[in-house]
């Protein structure tokens, strides 16, 4: 392994050893508190353009497996860990994390204090950074300065499907309960798996598909998926969502939730360091229940803009009181900021898929 350095936009520098591929990579430095699920996180499109830091100290101890992909490739811009396990133990193991990163051309760094880095990002906020095995600190700082900021790039178009397709999993037992249209802003496979397991046929549409094209197929309901980046640069997807409101039942997840917030008049703002991990407590304001959720987002909906829209805040984050859920008082629409499909994380909120399909069923009666 070669020496590597991590440089943040404020000049903070960490020295360690290279893992994965060699070279230089840039992205927004963020952290996740998940203790497991590194392969799911690496392949989650919502991490596109980001340098992913894991707070748990030992990574790679159960290797990688084909079943744990959440998209067709690794999506992160770079990977930051404390220690890489070189000898994994897992009955499903198909290779080591080191070979997995090399094969996907992903640069990473190990041997740094990731908890100290996490504390720094919590204090200063997430920022652009760079990992390199070839350039020095000053050269990397210049590259960071010359690189467009994370929020100015439309990552959704980089990770979305390029044409419509039907999810290969199909409906469970071959019986189709509902036809679901899914707008792919950077969807994870487990959303389609979850819908298919409940008897649904899922047709996935590219992020820039007009509303009229989706309505022409006459789906029973629409899911607006998670995805990467700033929702304020996605006006084309916003137009699609607006064109579907009032015409079909809609469920928004993460980025999809933020676009629904915008569609109902709210502003979306950037959080200081975001919510990324599997231990985020969310309170349902309707029934008082608290769920531990899996989250991966850096933006939040401002509730003040929702007044008079028919949409209301239904759930909040108990750590910082930010909006975690919306529900429309008249239309069959709801959204959540977290990930009911998990992968990784707790499955407390998996029932929300069933809730959405019950909403579709009630509307059809």
* Interacting residues of 136 by C-beta distance below 8 A, sequence separation 6+: 5
Q: How far apart are CA 254 and CA 207, in angstroms?
A: 15
Q: How far apart are CA 3 and CA 134, in angstroms?
A: 9
pLDDT at 40 over 80: yes
Mean pLDDT over residues 123-134, rounded?
Answer: 98
pLDDT at 175 over 90: no
pLDDT at 173 over 60: no
What distance lies between CA 185 and its chain's CA centroid?
A: 10
Based on the residue annotation, tell me whether 328 is a catalytic residue of this protein. no
Global pTM reads 0.96
Q: What are phi and psi of 352, to 5 degrees?
A: -65, -25
For residue range 316-327, what is the model confidence (pLDDT) as tens digits?
999 999 999 999
Record the tokens describing residue 342, joined without a space.
Answer: 């998990």
Mean pLDDT over residues 51-72, rounded?
Answer: 97
Domain end (from 135, 152, 169): 152
List the catalytic residue out of 120, 275, 297, 339. 339
Give pLDDT, residue 137.
Answer: 98
Tell me the residue range of the domain where 42 lies.
Answer: 3-152
For residue range 298-319, what is the model confidence (pLDDT) as tens digits?
999 999 999 999 999 999 999 9
Same domain, 209 and 335: yes
pLDDT at 172 over 70: no
% of the chain residues with pLDDT over 70: 98
Q: How far apart are CA 262 and CA 87, in angstroms?
A: 47
% of the chain residues with pLDDT over 90: 96
pLDDT at 222 over 80: yes
Tokens 């770079």 found at: 78
For residue range 250-296, what is the model confidence (pLDDT) as tens digits?
999 999 999 999 999 999 999 999 999 999 999 999 999 999 999 99
Same domain, 131 and 193: no
Same domain, 93 and 218: no
First to last CA, the chain: 63
Overall domain count for the chain:
2
Domain end (from 128, 152, 176): 152
For residue range 17-28, what is the model confidence (pLDDT) as tens digits?
999 999 999 999
Same domain, 166 and 133: no
Q: Would you say 83 and 56 are in contact if contact means Cβ atoms under 8 Å apart?
A: no
Same domain, 129 and 199: no
What band does 364 get if pLDDT is binned at 50, 70 and 90? confident
Same domain, 49 and 80: yes
Give pLDDT, residue 171.
Answer: 59
pLDDT at 150 over 90: yes
Same domain, 96 and 137: yes
Same domain, 224 and 351: yes
For the chain, what is the HEC assignment? CCEEEEEECCCCEEEEEEEEECCEEEEEEEEECCCCCHHHHHCCHHHECEEEEECCCEECCCCECHHHCCCCCCCECEEECCEECCCCCCCCCCECHHHHHHHCCCEEEECCCHHHHHHHHHHHCCEEEEEECCCCHHHHHHHHHHCCCHHHCCCHHHHCCCCCEECCCCCHHHCCCEEEEEECCCCCHHHHHHHHHCCEEEEEECCCCCHHHHHHCCCCEEEECCCCCCHHHCHHHHHHHHHHCCCCCEEEECHHHHHHHHHCCCCEEEEEEEEEEEEEEEEECCCCCEEEEEEEEEEEECHHHHCCCCEEEEEEECCCCCEEEEEECCCCEEEECCCCCCCCCCCCCCHHHHHHHHHHHHHHC
Query: What strands, in cross-sheet order, belong to the sheet with 221-224?
Result: 165-166, 200-205, 178-183, 221-224, 250-253, 333-336, 323-328, 311-317, 268-284, 290-301
Q: How far apart are CA 12 and CA 80, in angstroms?
A: 15
CATH of the domain at 15: 3.50.30.20
Give pLDDT, residue 1.
Answer: 78
Same domain, 267 and 305: yes
List the catalytic residue out of 34, 70, 254, 297. 254
Same domain, 352 and 203: yes
List the catalytic residue out of 28, 40, 70, 341. 341
Give pLDDT, residue 363.
Answer: 84
Give pLDDT, residue 91.
Answer: 95
Based on the residue annotation, tell me whether 99 is a catalytic residue of this protein. no
Give pLDDT, residue 169.
Answer: 73
Give pLDDT, residue 194.
Answer: 96
Same domain, 69 and 127: yes
Please, what is the angle between helix 235-244 and helix 255-263, to 10°? Answer: 70
Same domain, 341 and 200: yes
Strand partners, 49: none
What band does 170 get if pLDDT is binned at 50, 70 and 90? low
CATH of the domain at 301: 3.40.50.880
Averaged confidence pLDDT in the chain: 96
pLDDT at 77 over 80: yes
Tokens 């915008």 found at: 262
Domain end (from 109, 136, 152): 152
What band does 168 get if pLDDT is binned at 50, 70 and 90? confident
Based on the residue annotation, tell me whether 207 is a catalytic residue of this protein. no
pLDDT, greater one: 363 or 365: 363
């Amino acid at each position: 392994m070669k020496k590597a350095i991590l440089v943040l936009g404020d000049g903070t520098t960490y020295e360690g050893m290279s893992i994965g591929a060699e070279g230089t990579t840039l992205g927004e430095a963020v952290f996740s508190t998940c203790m497991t699920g590194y392969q799911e996180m690496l392949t989650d499109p919502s991490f596109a353009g980001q340098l992913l830091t894991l707070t748990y100290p030992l990574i790679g101890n159960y290797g990688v497996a084909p079943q744990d992909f959440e998209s067709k490739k690794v999506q992160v811009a770079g990977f930051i860990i404390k220690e890489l396990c070189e000898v994994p133990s897992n009955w499903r193991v198909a290779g080591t994390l080191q070979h997995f990163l090399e094969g996907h051309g992903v640069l990473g760094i190990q041997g740094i204090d990731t908890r100290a880095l996490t504390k720094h990002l919590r204090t200063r906020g997430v920022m652009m950074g760079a990992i390199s095995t070839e350039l020095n600190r000053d050269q990397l700082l210049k590259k960071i300065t010359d690189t467009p900021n994370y929020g100015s790039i439309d990552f959704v178009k980089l990770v979305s499907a390029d044409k419509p397709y039907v999810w290969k999993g199909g409906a469970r037992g071959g019986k189709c309960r509902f036809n679901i249209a899914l707008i792919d802003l950077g969807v994870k496979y487990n959303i389609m798996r979850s819908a298919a397991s409940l008897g649904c046929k899922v047709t996935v549409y590219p992020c820039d598909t007009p509303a009229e094209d989706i309505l022409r197929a006459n789906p029973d309901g629409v899911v607006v998926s998670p995805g990467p980046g700033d929702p304020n640069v996605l006006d084309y997807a916003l137009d699609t969502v607006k064109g579907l409101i009032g015409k079909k039942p809609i469920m928004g997840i993460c980025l999809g939730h933020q676009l629904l917030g915008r569609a109902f008049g709210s502003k979306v703002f950037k959080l200081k360091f975001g919510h990324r991990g599997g231990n985020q407590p969310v309170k349902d304001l309707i029934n008082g229940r608290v769920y531990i959720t899996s989250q991966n987002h850096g933006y939040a909906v401002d509730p003040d803009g929702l007044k008079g829209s028919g949409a209301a805040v239904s759930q909040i984050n108990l750590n910082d009181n930010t909006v975690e859920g919306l529900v429309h008082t008249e239309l069959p629409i709801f959204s959540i900021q977290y990930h009911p499909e998990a992968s990784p994380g707790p499955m407390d909120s998996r029932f929300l898929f069933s809730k959405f399909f019950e909403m579709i069923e009630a509307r059809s009666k």
